[in-house]
Structure 1
Amino acid sequence: MTMQSTVSTIDARWKLDLSTSWDVLGPFPIHAREQQYISPSFPINLSEPIDLNRSWPSSYADGGRVKWTTMHSHTNGDLEVAFPNIRWKSLRSTEGWAALQHHAVLRTTLTVYPPKDPDPQEVPHLLVNLVQGSYITVIPAGSVERARYLPEWHAGNIYNLERSLPRAINLPSPPSLIHPTTYNVIVSGDYEIRLFGDPNIQGTDIPVQRITLTIALETPFITPVLEPSQDVVCDFVDGWAFGNALGVGIRSISHWWTVESISTDNAKGIQLTLQHQSRLAPTQTRIIPILLSQDRTYEEPKIPIRLTLTSKDRTITVSTFLTIRHLSGWSASTYDTIKATYFFGISTPTAFKVIPPIYQSPNFTVPILALHGAGVDIIDMPFWSDSLARNKHSWIIIPTGRTSWGLDWHGPSATDAWSTIDSLFHILAHRGNWNMWKIAKNSRAVIMGHSNGGQGAWYLASRYPDKAIGVIPAAGYIKSQSYVPLTMSRSAHFIDPALRAILEASLTPDDNDLYLSNLVDTPILAIHGGDDENVPVWHTREASGIIQAYSKDADLVLREDPRQGHWYHTILNNVQVDEFLDRVLDSPEGRMSKHFTLTILVPGEAGSLHGWMINSLAVPGRLGRLHISINVTGIRVITSNVHAFSVDTRLNECTSLHIDNSMISFPPIFDDTLYFEDTGAQTWQVGMLLVIIRNEGDHEGQPPCRLQQILASSGPLVFIIPDLKPSRELTIASRIVHDLQLYHRLDAEIFAESEASSILEGPSWHHSNIIFIGSPSSDLASNILGKRKTSFGIKDSRLILDGRALGEMDEAALFLHPHPAHTADKIMLFILSAGHDPYALERAARLFPIRTGVVGTSWLLVGRYAESIGAAGITGAGIWGRDWTFDRASSWLI
């Protein structure tokens, strides 16, 4: 490796050189999300010496083998990874975009230089910013040290997300205080169409990964530092805050700190209160949640803030300020796009934007929810809001979806979108002179979006059809597996088809095509450019055709603009869109067909259709459907995989109701909502106060069918580890916490097992999902699992599942579990090394659900072979039964 280098200094006493010469091995076929399962260094075993002369099998290369090559980065850290000797055009001719997906492993060196008189207590750590690379690790350069070292893989900022902070990484071994110390830097580079685009559009057949890596040093100071890029503040309109949530970004460098209190000086008319105390782990960044209230207008340009922090017996005060953008009130002729804030869940400060209507309306008007595309930062980029025409009577609400990518408008991103509507209601209702512009409480919405936002519009409308009075999906894709097929999957060559079927069931909640039956009565204007180079136009054609297969009379118009690409300025700004909005906003009541079908998979992430709602499935993880027919004699319902459902009688005149094999007799008096439960053999019973979700033991609620549900937490996610000393569990928790903040702006706290034992049964964590990381020797894990709420247990410090002892094959387990505080809508996730193996724990940690498209059922066992064959190395997977039971039909064990 030729040693060219860039020099970076943060601490004047320590220096580092990051080589600009890279050894690169690849390309290897992979599908878009396999890098979570396969070792990021695949096919290299980092515990062995790296042989730069060795070749490796790859079906992309002529002759079936690839060798190491040398590539060079620029001094600013930019690196282009390309393989021009691969016949990409030939591969693409048969496999399409899927053939461009590939993995490469990259290696360079990092050298740390000590100062003349080093302080052994001030050894720096690294601040690493990896953009559009999937993983990075820093390992010792010496073969003896490397053989004993277990790499810690840190996720990169693969989406190049906005306002990202560098990741703190400890050096794998202390640097010499006398001589320079060299380390190996290993990066996993993975090409995805959604990240880098179609190379043909750039005038080439060769896909190119564009990765940026910068590394600096940071001395572990005791005092936390402010991170202004993470601050959250709303605009003030005529002196009044457009929201009640503020946030101050703060990062701990090396100690445990707690933000105890807040005060402000010289801010007359403003009151600031901490939503809760916030604890920071070493290297953790949190946005401190501050409740803002006013009793008079505030015209100052800044809000001064003073935070008090404690760490053991040390107390400090940190002073800062939030800069305010002051706006004048809007009118028919003038307006600004307004930045509003609210608390996501119960305590996470979150911004969104709104465009006020031109005119006041005597009645409540329905807002328009406008979902941005992937990579569009609505906070600092005016592009999206400038693309939307101001509406005559309706507010346009522009949510972030947590970040510019978020979770593709699913999960927390969907929650964020709906929450902004309620937040706007409260903002307008709270201020007297804004009341004339207010929207209804629990308002429905028109949902529109472009690209990923178009896909999000399909998603939100089809999962919550009664909330959508109309939909305008533009250039949206149906689902990720259709966008770029999984054709080149490595694991597909090794996996048992039965296991694959169970794993892929965890993607079903995201498959928009399966839920389009819910939109047969929803007005839809589907738009797509005829020559879209990013999302092929067939996606919108197919979605439209599916809806028409359910109802030839569906209120759907497909607008295909010839010779237009993915984005053009008139895609959402044209006469047809304006007329569609006028029609649905003027008549929001909609229609009800005589025959319709409600389809859901996750009851907790779905709403009603014409007042009909599925509350519980007979078999979780499988689609549930209600086929409803209405005629003059009554209503007929045919159910499929439904255990319990309800109907709003205000929307449905239930004079006669026949459900499967049951003719329903109504009570003489009943509430607005009637509940029905299957008592066996599709025989149904009804009652006004019927408990439709079975109460098994002390826990209520149908178990989720996939790991991703752990992100649905109202309060900060709580991580529990054995203790707070430096450990494998602490670094894993810290890495995941960083990812949650980066990818989703989700808040989290880390606690020791000894602390958690006294808190779990109390009310403090009732709003929080909990993640435990450790081993079966844990007393806390043994205590919780000993209650046998699921089929996992611990015996003789060994993890068992359905009577089988685990751990013989370096296994680790990830499984969802009822919340220990018996909170119905909250859950717990265990990440356990079944056999006390840190390698296994590392493998399991990479499967924590950060990105969409990663398979992960409600419980998983992952073995060591996953490092080389991906999901085929899963040794067990399944979906819990309705009462958290082991369901053999939905499970697979090796």
Structure 2
Amino acid sequence: MLISLLSNWFHLLPMITQQPFNPSPSPASISFSETWHLLGPFQIGTREATWGADPLEQIGGFRSLSYNESDSYRSSLAVNGTVGWSTLTAESSSSAGNPGNAKAELLVRFDNTDWQSLQSVYGWAALQYQGWARGKITVGGNQQRTVVFYTDQVLEFWIDDEHQFGGDFYGYRRAPLVLHLGPGNHQIDIRITRDVRAMGGVGEPTVRIGLEAEISEGGLKLVEGTVLLPDMVDGRLVSSLGSVNLRNEEHHWIDVLSLEAVNVSFTLAMKENPPFRLAPGQSRPLSFDVALAYDAAAEVVFEITYKVEHSTEVIRTSQVRQAVHSREAEEPQKVTYLHPGGIVSYAILRPPSAKALRYACPNASLAVVIGLHGAGVETDSDLVRQTFKDAPDLKAWVLFPSGVTTWSGDDWHRWGSADTEAAIAAIPEWIKTVGWNGPNADINRRLVTGHSNGGQGVWYALTHTPDNIVGATPVSGYSSIQAYVPYSFWYEADPGVNAILQSALADYRHELLLPNGCGIPIHQQHGSLDDNVPPFHSRRLSQIQSQIDCPSEYVELPGKGHWFQGVMTTQTLLEFYAKVLGDRPAPASLSSSFDIVVANPGTMGSKGGIIVDQLTTPGRPGRIKAEHDVKQSIWHLKTSNIHRLHFSAAAARDWTRSKLVVDGKKLELLRDVPLSGQWLVHRPNESWEVSCDSLWRNRQRHGRQLGALDAMLDTSGRYMLLTSSETLSLAVQVSRNFFQYFGADAEVIGPDQLNPTEGGNRVIMSLGSAGLMPATAGRHDTIFVDEKKGLCVRGSNGRLAVYAFTEGLGAIFLRPGTNGSLELVIWAFDLLGLRFAARMVPMLTGVGQPDFIVVGQECAWKGAAGVVALGHLDNSWNVAESSAIL
């Protein structure tokens, strides 16, 4: 089977040997060079690095250049329009005198640019730049070593002739690169990418890069410090799931056979049926069930057994200990649960206090206050746990989702929003587990709060799940990705390309989606001296709300900055919480007039009970204006760019009591069919009809399949990464990026290992002119390979755009999987093109990748301006030619 062939191709992973392998023992040592050579700065736009856009690629790339003080290169950022080489001394050290561990810190600055002048014209966009740094890593002794390599604040780098994209831009340190380096010197070329969202816009625009290399003895690494366990209350665990990160530091595949508790107080069991496989160099999270056997022990001690491929020996890892924290019943406590992506995540839950319960109705179900953290904040921290310390008796359940990572991976959007929903769903399970006898949680009645990036997350929740929101308090939040740091420094592109990139980001343009939040109490708060998220963002949204007759409260705090103690419990916020969470909240009622704006039906919940299933033209927002004629008991819906909609079951009474007129046509909802089984469909002849055909979902794009490439983040189950021996190295790199940036799990397998019934989204890597791997959901020929002609893209009118096989040609696109899942196909004519297409797999927010992209060599230096073709796919998986460039 192909999976066996993959295991024999471990040498395709990063393995660089500069001297013949010598098996004799030698001292293990590793070090970084103190002197590094710099070249830069060069212009780059907000989040543009994913697209390439490196001007040095036009002349062969930085790796082809040699240090020469007299050489100069054109740059739009530097004085006189040219830049040259400079040197930098790194701060290097070894770990506690251990020669097998080395660290280097590079503080990068470029003094050949008038940053103040640029910023005065272009704002924060001018404080973003790119450049390159070259140094060496030296392996001592006379034999090859396995090296674990960490790259904090680095997105892209080369080690000798091996290219890596993804790195560890946010410094998560979750999935380092595993290298096999021969003795001697190895060249490291690091692409410096300064990003205001990640590194700040105040002060001198420097970049601080952290490198660490550690010699490994190989085997399976059970990573200490990554064990996730629930808290304990009154001698019982509050939930039953845990996880730990594993890393394969071997040359070969590893099969994990078991996970066993050493101390008898706990029982542990892997959630996956063994073997749990890791490719060479791969990191994965291992999920397990955990239960308390007979007493309240203070820690869990466990170990793992595994086998290395081609060996019959069963190996045990070193034991790992993890404390289990005991909490009081009213304290914030850690609850674990399954994220839809199949991994274990956690949230901090604070039940209602005894004082709050004294004044609650006996049979009440209390609302849930959701607190979304800012960028770089760990949910399991005193900073988060004490957020509502000054509001101890809120008549609500208080929940702080983690978003899986400290950045909530994708800014509380698809991946982070799914985590929030899973955390909310875990509250009823907590009630059962701990035997809670107080008021239940009304998980569909939510007061959503958040600070900074979490404040932006509040706007996302408000505009995407309005029927579940009873109040919103975005604090110090930014209005949208595009508004935070302008995209003005991108390489100049065809306006049509820019339009498609922006349409791929429209679902996060909250300024356009504000009508969805009308009628919901909103209280904005911002410090007047905030230099992290300027108060302009809140002022702007407040102004737009007033212009669309959507009143809200806005308070600007004089002399206050971005963060201060008690920022979430100011007097005005406490008053707002009390008002929204009153003793007798008014029952939800349908407004007689409201608007809906939908950028992506796949992420949009209901508004007024209306759920939009499909748009007519992707890439353009759809709109509905609903008005109720009370006297005649008629609902009038006026639509634009809406193809299919239905009504939620919860809104059945509101919509079945009245007559319905859609775009001037009277429609009769069927009385003998449940409302959730009826769809209003806009036919090509401009007429609307009521349809009970539920099989449309087998033929057309729907649900979590909708959206741009980042629809891949909306998965039900772990990712399946289908690869071959030729593409294994890149597959592991994609897997590492999924895990690094989202905490997501991806299983690397061969195509004959795929179980078609598994619900998780799939990534398929294909190379060469022989064709693409067949779609698991059946025939799909919108984008295909003709071995004689080239890559073919079929338009909706049948017209075929053909791109001849050339060096660097590649493509990445969505197609349907089984059971409503997605397949993300990464194809290229050669490894150069495959490497470039693979870097487009969603990783950072704000990149703007549409449904399909055809890349060529010019992308390396032009970025998105160099694409061969790109655009959106329609409801039938055909190219939407009005939203594409072919």
Q: TM-score, normalised by structure 1?
A: 0.87
Distance in structure 2 (CA, Å) of the matches to 1:708 and 1:321: 36
Q: Does the CA-based 8 Å contact 2:224-2:320 persist in structure 1?
A: no
1:587-640 Cα distance to aligned partner (Å, 9 max, x none) = 163454322111112212110012111011112222111110112121100111
The aligned residue for residue 748 of structure 2 is: 750
1:301-328 Cα distance to aligned partner (Å, 9 max, x none) = 2234353434445233446355343425
Once the 2 structures are TM-superposed, how far is the Cα of residue 579 of structure 1 from its aligned partner?
Answer: 1.7
Once the 2 structures are TM-superposed, how far is the Cα of residue 41 of structure 1 from its aligned partner?
Answer: 8.3
Q: 1:108 aligns with which of 120, 131, 135?
A: 135
Greater Cα shift, 620-629 or 249-258: 249-258
Q: Does the CA-based 8 Å contact 2:705-2:711 persist in structure 1?
A: no
Q: Does the CA-based 8 Å contact 2:56-2:62 persist in structure 1?
A: no
- Structure 2: tracts of 5 or more residues without a match: 1-24, 94-103, 795-799
Distance in structure 1 (CA, Å) of the matches to 2:43 and 2:62: 20
Q: Does the CA-based 8 Å contact 2:782-2:878 persist in structure 1?
A: yes
Q: 1:184 aligns with which of 183, 187, 198?
A: 187
- For the residue of structure 1 that corresponds to 2:428, the secondary structure is helix
Q: 1:416 aligns with which of 411, 414, 419?
A: 419
The aligned residue for residue 350 of structure 1 is: 345
1:360-401 Cα distance to aligned partner (Å, 9 max, x none) = 34211011100000011122x321222323343212111111
The aligned residue for residue 511 of structure 1 is: 509
Distance in structure 2 (CA, Å) of the matches to 1:508 and 1:403: 24
Q: Does the CA-based 8 Å contact 1:776-1:794 persist in structure 2?
A: no
Distance in structure 1 (CA, Å) of the matches to 2:779 and 2:588: 49
- Structure 1: tracts of 5 or more residues without a match: 1-10, 140-148, 176-180, 201-205
Distance in structure 2 (CA, Å) of the matches to 1:190 and 1:260: 41
Q: 2:286 aligns with which of 285, 288, 300?
A: 288
Distance in structure 2 (CA, Å) of the matches to 1:215 and 1:125: 10
- For the residue of structure 1 that corresponds to 2:478, the secondary structure is coil
Greater Cα shift, 298-307 or 278-287: 298-307
Is 1:530 the counterpart of 2:534? The answer is no
Distance in structure 1 (CA, Å) of the matches to 2:26 and 2:176: 19
Q: Does the CA-based 8 Å contact 1:235-1:241 persist in structure 2?
A: yes
Distance in structure 2 (CA, Å) of the matches to 1:770 and 1:675: 29
Q: 1:95 aligns with which of 115, 122, 128?
A: 122
Q: TM-score, normalised by structure 2?
A: 0.88
The aligned residue for residue 33 of structure 2 is: 19
The aligned residue for residue 377 of structure 2 is: 376
The aligned residue for residue 325 of structure 1 is: 324
Distance in structure 2 (CA, Å) of the matches to 1:472 and 1:880: 36
Distance in structure 2 (CA, Å) of the matches to 1:39 and 1:599: 34
The aligned residue for residue 463 of structure 1 is: 464
The aligned residue for residue 84 of structure 1 is: 111
Distance 1:276 1:78, change over 3 A: same
Once the 2 structures are TM-superposed, how far is the Cα of residue 701 of structure 1 from its aligned partner?
Answer: 6.0
Distance 1:40 1:108, change over 3 A: farther
Aligned-partner residue type, residue 720 of structure 1: L
Q: Does the CA-based 8 Å contact 1:366-1:439 persist in structure 2?
A: yes
The aligned residue for residue 773 of structure 2 is: 781
Once the 2 structures are TM-superposed, how far is the Cα of residue 265 of structure 1 from its aligned partner?
Answer: 5.5
Is 1:156 the counterpart of 2:167? The answer is yes
Distance in structure 2 (CA, Å) of the matches to 1:590 and 1:626: 20
Once the 2 structures are TM-superposed, how far is the Cα of residue 465 of structure 1 from its aligned partner?
Answer: 0.4
Distance in structure 1 (CA, Å) of the matches to 2:327 and 2:206: 47
1:623-675 Cα distance to aligned partner (Å, 9 max, x none) = 11111011212110011111111123234454211001311123343424453
Greater Cα shift, 700-709 or 677-686: 700-709
The aligned residue for residue 74 of structure 1 is: 91
Q: 1:860 aligns with which of 829, 834, 853?
A: 853
Q: Does the CA-based 8 Å contact 1:782-1:794 persist in structure 2?
A: no
Q: 1:706 aligns with which of 705, 708, 711?
A: 708
Is 1:892 the counterpart of 2:885? The answer is yes
Q: What is the alpha-carbon root mean square deviation over aligned residues?
A: 2.4
Once the 2 structures are TM-superposed, how far is the Cα of residue 463 of structure 1 from its aligned partner?
Answer: 0.5
Distance 1:875 1:785, change over 3 A: farther
Aligned-partner residue type, residue 485 of structure 2: V
The aligned residue for residue 685 of structure 2 is: 681
Q: Does the CA-based 8 Å contact 2:601-2:703 persist in structure 1?
A: no
Aligned-partner residue type, residue 860 of structure 1: I
Distance in structure 2 (CA, Å) of the matches to 1:257 and 1:37: 34
Q: Does the CA-based 8 Å contact 2:591-2:608 persist in structure 1?
A: no
1:798-835 Cα distance to aligned partner (Å, 9 max, x none) = 4322232442353100011111xx322x10011111x2
1:477-535 Cα distance to aligned partner (Å, 9 max, x none) = 1112111101122x22xx21112211221111111111111011111011111121111
Is 1:619 the counterpart of 2:617? The answer is yes
Aligned-partner residue type, residue 166 of structure 1: P
Distance in structure 2 (CA, Å) of the matches to 1:810 and 1:716: 30
Distance in structure 1 (CA, Å) of the matches to 2:178 and 2:702: 40
Question: Identity rate of aligned residues, in percent?
Answer: 26
Distance in structure 2 (CA, Å) of the matches to 1:604 and 1:402: 21
Distance 1:797 1:469, change over 3 A: same
| 1:557-568 equivalence runs, <5 A | 557-568=553-564
Is 1:800 the counterpart of 2:780? The answer is no
Q: Does the CA-based 8 Å contact 1:231-1:287 persist in structure 2?
A: no
Distance in structure 2 (CA, Å) of the matches to 1:274 and 1:99: 49
The aligned residue for residue 768 of structure 1 is: 760
Is 1:581 the counterpart of 2:580? The answer is no
Q: Does the CA-based 8 Å contact 1:276-1:289 persist in structure 2?
A: no
The aligned residue for residue 101 of structure 2 is: none
Aligned-partner residue type, residue 368 of structure 1: V
The aligned residue for residue 396 of structure 1 is: 398
Is 1:629 the counterpart of 2:646? The answer is no
- For the residue of structure 2 that corresponds to 1:110, the secondary structure is strand
Higher relative contact order (CA 8 A, sep 6+): 2
Is 1:137 the counterpart of 2:153? The answer is no
Is 1:596 the counterpart of 2:594? The answer is yes
| 1:829-840 equivalence runs, <5 A | 829-833=824-828, 835=829, 837-840=830-833
- For the residue of structure 2 that corresponds to 1:535, the secondary structure is coil
Once the 2 structures are TM-superposed, how far is the Cα of residue 550 of structure 1 from its aligned partner?
Answer: 2.1
Distance in structure 1 (CA, Å) of the matches to 2:62 and 2:529: 45
Q: 2:810 aligns with which of 800, 806, 812?
A: 812
Distance in structure 1 (CA, Å) of the matches to 2:513 and 2:46: 24
Q: 2:335 aligns with which of 340, 343, 351?
A: 340
Once the 2 structures are TM-superposed, how far is the Cα of residue 356 of structure 1 from its aligned partner?
Answer: 2.6
Q: 1:238 aligns with which of 231, 234, 247?
A: 234
Distance in structure 1 (CA, Å) of the matches to 2:283 and 2:586: 44
Once the 2 structures are TM-superposed, how far is the Cα of residue 136 of structure 1 from its aligned partner?
Answer: 1.9
Distance in structure 2 (CA, Å) of the matches to 1:604 and 1:322: 42
Distance in structure 2 (CA, Å) of the matches to 1:775 and 1:522: 51
Once the 2 structures are TM-superposed, how far is the Cα of residue 196 of structure 1 from its aligned partner?
Answer: 2.3
Once the 2 structures are TM-superposed, how far is the Cα of residue 170 of structure 1 from its aligned partner?
Answer: 4.0
Once the 2 structures are TM-superposed, how far is the Cα of residue 720 of structure 1 from its aligned partner?
Answer: 0.8
Distance in structure 2 (CA, Å) of the matches to 1:12 and 1:392: 64
| 1:479-494 equivalence runs, <5 A | 479-489=480-490, 491-492=491-492
Q: 2:428 aligns with which of 425, 428, 431?
A: 425
Distance in structure 1 (CA, Å) of the matches to 2:257 and 2:111: 57
1:275-311 Cα distance to aligned partner (Å, 9 max, x none) = 44421111222221112345x7631122343534344
Once the 2 structures are TM-superposed, how far is the Cα of residue 156 of structure 1 from its aligned partner?
Answer: 2.5
Distance 1:668 1:209, change over 3 A: closer
Is 1:790 the counterpart of 2:773? The answer is no
Q: Does the CA-based 8 Å contact 1:252-1:285 persist in structure 2?
A: yes
Once the 2 structures are TM-superposed, how far is the Cα of residue 269 of structure 1 from its aligned partner?
Answer: 7.1
The aligned residue for residue 144 of structure 1 is: none
The aligned residue for residue 209 of structure 1 is: 207
Aligned-partner residue type, residue 652 of structure 2: T
Distance in structure 2 (CA, Å) of the matches to 1:317 and 1:127: 21
- For the residue of structure 1 that corresponds to 2:441, the secondary structure is coil
Distance 1:392 1:773, change over 3 A: same
Q: Does the CA-based 8 Å contact 2:601-2:613 persist in structure 1?
A: yes
| 1:630-649 equivalence runs, <5 A | 630-632=628-630, 633=632, 634-647=634-647, 648-649=651-652
Distance in structure 1 (CA, Å) of the matches to 2:342 and 2:307: 21
The aligned residue for residue 82 of structure 2 is: 65
Q: 1:876 aligns with which of 863, 869, 872?
A: 869
Aligned-partner residue type, residue 717 of structure 2: G
Greater Cα shift, 272-281 or 230-239: 272-281
Aligned-partner residue type, residue 374 of structure 2: G
Number of matched pairs: 822
